[in-house]
Amino acid sequence: MRRTLTTGLAASVLLLTGLVTAWAGGVSWRYKVKYVGTWDIQPNGDVKAVRTFTVPAMMYANWKTNNLHMKEMRSFNPAISTVKCDDLDFKWDDVKRTLTLSMTVRGLAVNKGDHWEAMMAPGLQFSNIDATHKKAYFHGSLVNPQTTVNGQDVVTFPADATDIKNTDGRTLRFKMPENAAQARGASALWWALFGVALASGGALLGLSIVGGKPAKKPAKKKT
Amino acid sequence: MKAKQLRIAGAILIAVSIVFLILALTSGKSAAKVTGDLEVSMQTREYIMSGVYKVYALKDRPAGIWAAKTIFENKTGAPVENLKVRYKMEGFSDWGSWHVYKRLVPTQMVVDTYYPLLSDRCAKQANRTPTELTMEYEYEDAAGEKHSDSMAKRLTMLGVREVVYRTLPLEEVHGQFQEFFANSPLTAAWVTPDDKAVGGLAALANEKALGAGASINDENCIKVMREAYEIMRTINVTYQSPGGGGGSFGDKSFDPMLVQSIQYPRDTIRKRSGTCIELAILYASMLKSQGIKPYLVMLPGHCFPIGQLPTSGSFIPVESTCVGGGGRNSQDFAQAVKIARKEWSDLLKSRQFMLVDVEKCIEMGIVPPDLEPLPEDILQRWKITDMVAGKTGTGGTPSAVRPGQWSVTLTNAQRRLTGVAQVQVQGNQVVLVFGLQYNQVDARGVNHRYEEVNRFNGTIQGKIITGQCRQAAWKIDGRQVRPTLPMNLKLQVSADGRSAQGTAGGTAGQVQVAMTWTK
């Protein structure tokens, strides 16, 4: 299984709708679910992820009564998951009817040497990149007979990130200072050679001037 | 230029080159000190399933199908370069290619997973075998020094007929059915439509359906589905209750323990028996080989197949254990569908089931192992073709005529009567008890009610039944009357033993007899 940003949390959207279908038992109206996600990429490749779902009261009550969040969080169990998640947490807000799942996914962004890569889950629509504020925006939408789910995910890059791109709709690429330094380091040898060549040339030039004959002064006329 | 100018230019150039040299030497690698270690930990699966060895190497594999997972965390305080990891599994997989991670910055973590490319030796794994999984890695620290190390763990390669359904540790399971059977899609690897035994049996069923193209329309599809089910009964495939099934699923087929043993369809045909899941898989394999889209429905303690009609897309569930056995009577296709429809309807309300779309799983790459090839005449060797053709075998093989209840039609020049016959068979002795009720108007135009029970004792030779009735009970308008005996019977039984035609009669006249087995 490829590791992607929104791994597991994308599934949670589907799970939400699936469980609604089961519980609703054929009720014909459509539930509207909204979500907001933030994905903060850390300089070491960890991603701090938070997704908050706002759901109708009936769905909220079902989830809370049946502890369905525990089933959701099982997908991050080390026995199954191919990512390591720290600080897994789930919060309820009875007033706002929100379910919030948060975690730190270790090493989700990968250092490729001359750049970093982070991949979004399939099914999310890329919106745009705000290079000034170092953010990328994605939208998600899911419709089935009982539920519509709509939301937005915001990916925030490290403060030092540069050259942020979305290469194929899913893959986010960016560079960090150590990538630039590596690029510089790759040409260090050439710089050294250039320096040695200049120094050698300068030394030879100097020696040739010192070792060469002085310019002849024009002879003074005898009177 | 004058010497002085040249000297000045040279000195400047030397100074500039020294600056460049300093820049080149101080850019690139950081001068951070190595203060800690690269932490490494490896987690492996307890079991590797040889029956699905091809699935492990798939690019888009089902979740949880990994053999090992290694976590590297850079706690050295400095970058780590060129981390490389590779694995092998003793006896089943050579060293894989290196997984390369160019650079790990301080505190960066990498989770590397191993999806083994297993050899086809797995297909020959009759039983469980211990094996050793070895991981080796190497990297360069900030000082440029190379490090390498390896780790090994013992795990078990399961037999080719074994599957692990549960992916979570037992203490993490809440008790929902889906958690115990998260690996249900892997069951598709037991569906073997291309197996010679399965394909041959399905072809025989298709012959019975008069070559109806199952994928042409719904009607043909149902014909083929019916004959595929009935041929299982013809060759006496029976449901076998599993031994030792316990736990929360009671006496059903599934053992709530981690590992389930499932035989392949060829084994079910050869043994003529199987558990519910084995019968379902056999039936699904036969459907698939005839171009019918099959599904497997897995529910707590049970499994049954579904065939999807090509035109309407409707599901036809079939309770494959209705073939009989395990203390249950054999029931016909219509009854098997009726029972399964009720089960399916209940499941749609409870949602405690998993539906395995076999075709979709096959497309994903969940395919059977390369089992040993069977000879072309395997069904002949197993006496299957003889049974289908209706030849009796020895010691326990079925007779040419089916015992049970038959519908009867008697016709002569004057009238046509219908009734019921009970048939009992013991060896080549057969007893047929005909029950008839009909009205007849006499010469004076008076209507009378006739009731007859005629008992024929006979023998069956090949497909011919001959018998004689010397025992009968007749009533006219409720009054006992003396029957006209003896009566003789001669019938020709069809190849599948489910229909018969012939003549019966005595001094009072002859009638044409047509019989069809019902249950």
- Per-residue pLDDT tens over the stretch B343-374: 999 999 888 889 999 999 999 889 999 999 99
Chain A's closest residue to B14, CA to CA, is A199
Nearest of B459, B504, B503, B500 to residue B486 by alpha carbon? B504
- Mean pLDDT along residues B187-198: 95
Nearest of B91, B92, B74 to residue B83 by alpha carbon? B74
At residue A214, the pLDDT reads: 52
Is the per-residue pLDDT at B91 higher than 90?
Answer: yes
Chain A's closest residue to B42, CA to CA, is A78
Amino acid letter for position A87: D
For chain A, which residues make up each domain, given as ranges? 9-182
Q: Between chain A and chain B, how many beta carbons pairs sit less than 8 Å apart?
A: 152
At residue B396, the pLDDT reads: 34
- Mean pLDDT along residues B440-447: 87
For Cα atoms A134, A137, A138, give the angle at the middle one, nearest 5 degrees.
Answer: 150
Distance spanning both ends of chain A, measured CA to CA: 103
Partners of A71 on chain B (C-beta within 8 Å) are 174, 176
Nearest CB to B61: which of A1, A3, A182? A1
> How far, in Å, CA of B419 to CA of B435, rounded?
6
- Mean pLDDT along residues B126-153: 94
Nearest of B275, B298, B289, B270 to residue B228 by alpha carbon? B289
Amino acid letter for position B448: H
**Which of A25-39, B19-33, B312-326, B498-512 shows the lowest per-residue confidence on average (mean pLDDT)?**
B19-33
Q: Write down the CATH number for the domain with range B38-160.
A: 2.60.40.10
Task: Read off the pLDDT band of B398 (50, 70, 90).
Answer: very low
Beta-strand pair B47-48/B146-157: parallel
Task: Give whole-number Cα distances, A109 to A6, A89, A156, B76, in Å.
Answer: 12, 21, 12, 19
CA B267 from centre of chain: 12
B186: closest CA of chain A, how far (Å) = 16
Residues 6 or more apart whose CB falls under 8 angstroms from that of B46 comprise: B155, B156
At residue A9, the pLDDT reads: 46
Task: Read off the pLDDT band of B27 (50, 70, 90).
Answer: low
Interchain CB distance below 8 Å, A209 and B71:
no
More confident residue, B242 or B184: B184
Nearest CB to A84: which of B7, B104, B111? B111
Top residue of B4, B71, B103 to mutate, by most chain A CBs within 10 Å, is B103
Task: Please give the backbone phi and psi of residue B239, each rounded to the nearest 5 degrees, phi first.
Answer: -80, 135
Partners of A14 on chain B (C-beta within 8 Å) are none
> How far, in Å, CA of B367 to CA of B411, rounded?
55
Nearest CB to A185: which of B10, B29, B73? B29
Nearest of A114, A116, A101 to residue A39 by alpha carbon? A101
Nearest CB to A44: which of B27, B108, B174? B108
Q: In what order do the strands lie in the sheet with B293-299?
A: B315-317, B302-308, B293-299, B354-357
At residue B59, the pLDDT reads: 67
Top residue of B1, B12, B13, B173 to mutate, by most chain A CBs within 10 Å, is B13
> How far, in Å, CA of B337 to CA of B328, rounded?
16
pLDDT tens column, B247-272? 333 333 344 556 788 999 999 999 98
Assembly ipTM? 0.71
> How far, in Å, CA of B405 to CA of B147, rounded?
81
CA B61 from centre of chain: 19
More confident residue, B52 or A22: B52
More confident residue, A6 or B197: B197
Successive 10-residue mean pLDDT values, chain A, 223 residues: 47 40 45 92 94 91 80 79 89 93 92 89 87 93 84 94 90 84 56 71 70 54 53
Bridge partners of residue B500, in order along the sequence: B493, B515
Alpha helices, DSSP H, located in B103-253? 177-180, 196-208, 218-234
Does B115 reach chain A within 8 Å, measured CB to CB? no
Question: Would residue A14 be called left, alpha or beta, if left means φ above 0 and alpha means ψ between -120 and 50 degrees?
Answer: alpha
For chain B, which residues make up each domain, given as ranges? 38-160, 164-381, 404-517
> How far, in Å, CA of B274 to CA of B237, rounded?
8
Task: Read off the pLDDT band of B178 (50, 70, 90).
Answer: confident
In the predicted model, what is the mean pLDDT of chain B? 86
At residue B392, the pLDDT reads: 36
At residue A151, the pLDDT reads: 93
At residue A199, the pLDDT reads: 74
Task: Read off the pLDDT band of B236 (50, 70, 90).
Answer: confident
Residue located via tokens 């009261």: A57
**Domain B404-517 class in CATH:** mainly beta
At residue B253, the pLDDT reads: 38
Nearest CB to B172: which of A3, A77, A111? A77
- The structure's pTM equals 0.69
Partners of A80 on chain B (C-beta within 8 Å) are 63-64, 167-168, 182
**Which of B18-27, B47-56, B324-333, B393-402 shows the lowest per-residue confidence on average (mean pLDDT)?**
B393-402
B101: closest CA of chain A, how far (Å) = 7
Helix (H) / strand (E) element for A9: namely helix A9-24
Interchain CB distance below 8 Å, A191 and B9:
no
At residue B244, the pLDDT reads: 45
Partners of A198 on chain B (C-beta within 8 Å) are 13-14, 16-17, 20
pLDDT tens column, B300-318? 889 999 999 999 999 999 9
Q: Which of B28-37, B171-180, B229-238 has the highest mean pLDDT?
A: B229-238
At residue A217, the pLDDT reads: 54
Task: Please give the backbone phi and psi of residue B510, each rounded to the nearest 5 degrees, phi first.
Answer: -115, 150
Long-range contacts of B175-180 (CB under 8 A, 24+ apart): B175/B248, B176/A71, B176/B352, B177/B299, B177/B300, B177/B352, B177/B353, B177/B354, B178/B354, B179/A74, B180/B256
**Which of A134-138, B140-144, B432-436, B495-499 shows the lowest per-residue confidence on average (mean pLDDT)?**
B495-499
Residues 6 or more apart whose CB falls under 8 angstroms from that of A37 comprise: A6, A9, A49, A50, A51, A52, A151, A152, A153, A154
